[in-house]
Amino acid sequence: MRAAAWITLGLLGLTTAPAAARVEGPVFPPPPAEPRLVFEESLRDDDGYRGPRSLLGRIADVLTGSGESAAMVRPHGLACDGPLLLIADPDAGVVHLFDRDKHTYRRLPRDGRLASPVDAAVDADGRIWVADSAAGALVVFDREGREQARYTDGIERPAGLAWDRASGRLYVADPVAHRVAVLDAQGRLLDAFGARGETDGAFNFPVDVCLDPQGGVWVLDALNFRVCALAPDGAFLSSFGAQGDAPGAFARPRGLACDADGHLWISDALQDGVQVFDDEGRLLMAFGTQGQADGEFWMPAGVAFDDRANLYVADAYNRRVQVFRYLGDAEGGRP
């Protein structure tokens, strides 16, 4: 069992790191354990994401105001779509949209601001869905940042979003309604799972939702201090997690993402770190401490993976998104 191997390595500290990984920033777990995650960079603003600009273009930026600062205020939920990284920033009232290939930056909406954008997700047509928690609405934008639609059907206060593009279903964690709503691409409520409680299938402030590679639904049930696995139709499958400050327990779980290996990466705003579990709830790794240096966090929020094994963690009070390279579960290779 590979998962068990991670823990054993950490427990005994007996292995030596393979020579393969040449690393720039902090690595996790720290040596002598085999590195699984490498710090790459921190994104704080659109520095380096303005694209190649002529002098005239830059002057035009200043004159038209499109050269305005894109500094992050308090990044929260994250989403990836190919090279696109979306960063919901409720205090800025915008979603920052970075193209990591073209190195371009855009913000949604193009003009003005949303009340409290806390998460984003991209549907099969490339439209960007934004959870505006304070407005109690899902706001849909095109890639240019033009508002296309606004949906409130079945939504009380949306928090985490996850699009299942194959089935055309959007899962919406609604903490105040204590349920997960399912919408179609027209914003119509298809289904809703859960009610407030502690039992299997119930939720107590579910704040985030993600999908595993098989389409299984994972819900971060924050104040039950657990993660719940659901079938796509909402049937309860399993849950793990307990409240506490020990490794493997949750204090203020906030963001949830699933990698290509089916591992669950869960940020915790009080632990100032991220814990990684396999799908049976076994702790594989934990990283992060309170601080401002690379690999340290202050109120981490959303986590997301892109399709090239980069992990993004919204480091809310440090006003940045930290980027890590996931080295994968296979020996020395990427997933």
Q: Which residues bind another protein (CB under 8 A)?
A: 7, 10-12, 29-30, 73-74, 76, 90-91, 116, 118, 133-134, 157, 159, 175-176, 196-198, 204-205, 207, 222-223, 225, 242-249, 251-252, 254, 269-271, 273, 275, 282-283, 285-290, 299, 317
For the CB of residue 264, give the shortest distance to another protein in the complex, in Å.
Answer: 15
CB of 103 or CB of 252, closer to another protein: 252
For the CB of residue 103, give the shortest distance to another protein in the complex, in Å.
Answer: 29
CB of 205 or CB of 236, closer to another protein: 205
Where do the DSSP E strands lie in 142-241? 147-151, 161-164, 169-174, 179-183, 189-193, 206-211, 217-221, 226-230, 236-240
Taking a C-beta distance cutoff of 8 angstroms, is the pair 129, 140 a contact? yes
136: left (phi over 0), alpha (psi -120 to 50) or beta: left
CB of 159 or CB of 257, closer to another protein: 159
CB of 228 or CB of 286, closer to another protein: 286
Residue whose C-alpha is closest to residue 218's, from 209, 206, 207, 205: 209
CA dihedral angle for residue 86, residue 87, residue 89, residue 94, rounded to 10 degrees:
-20
Please give the DSSP secondary-structure letter assigned to residue 151.
Answer: E
Q: How far apart are CA 47 and CA 228, in angstroms?
A: 38
For the CB of residue 136, give the shortest distance to another protein in the complex, in Å.
Answer: 9
For the CB of residue 35, give the shortest distance to another protein in the complex, in Å.
Answer: 13
CB of 49 or CB of 277, closer to another protein: 277
For the CB of residue 84, give the shortest distance to another protein in the complex, in Å.
Answer: 23
